[in-house]
Amino acid sequence: MSDNVAHALGGAGGGIVSMLLTYPLITVSSRLQVQRKQASASSTESSANAIQKIIKQEGIAGLFSGVESAVFGNALTNGVYYFFFEWVKKRFEQASGRRNMTTGQSMLAGALAGAAVVLITNPIWVVNMRQTTKKNSLDEDEEEKDVSSGEASTKKTPAKQSFWKMLFDIVQEDGVQALWQGTLPALILVINPIIQYTVFERIKAGWERSRKLGNLDFFMLGAISKLAATAITYPYIVVKSRMQLRQSKDAAQRYNSVLDGLRKIVKQEGVQGLYKGIEFKLVQSVLTAAFLFMAKEQFYRYAVTLLALTGSQRRTN
- What kind of fold does domain 2-136+161-316 have according to CATH? Mitochondrial carrier fold (1.50.40)
Question: What DSSP state is assigned to residue 182?
Answer: T
Mean pLDDT, 10 residues at a time, the chain of 317 residues: 77 84 86 70 56 84 85 85 86 81 80 88 88 59 42 48 87 91 84 80 89 86 84 86 81 84 91 86 81 83 82 60
Q: Which whole-number Å values give the CA distances from 164 to 123, 137, 191, 207, 214, in the listed order?
A: 11, 20, 30, 45, 40
Amino acid, single-letter form, for residue 98? R
pLDDT score, position 144: 42
Output the pLDDT for position 159. 57
**What is the spatial distance between Cα 158 and Cα 65, in angstroms, rounded to a whole number?**
13
Sequence-distant (≥ 6) Cβ neighbours of residue 198 within 8 angstroms: 103, 106, 107, 110, 225
Integer-rounded Cα radius of gyration of the chain: 21
b/e per residue 29-49 (b: at least 16 CB within 10 A): bbbbbbbeeebeeebeeebee
What pTM value is reported for the model?
Answer: 0.60
Which of these, 89, 299, 304, lies nearest to 215 by C-alpha position? 299
Burial of 58 (0-12, 13-18, 19+ CB in 10 A): middle
The CA distances from residue 64 to 47, 48, 182, 279, in Å, are 18, 18, 23, 19
The number of CA neighbours under 13 Å toward the Cβ of 158 is 6
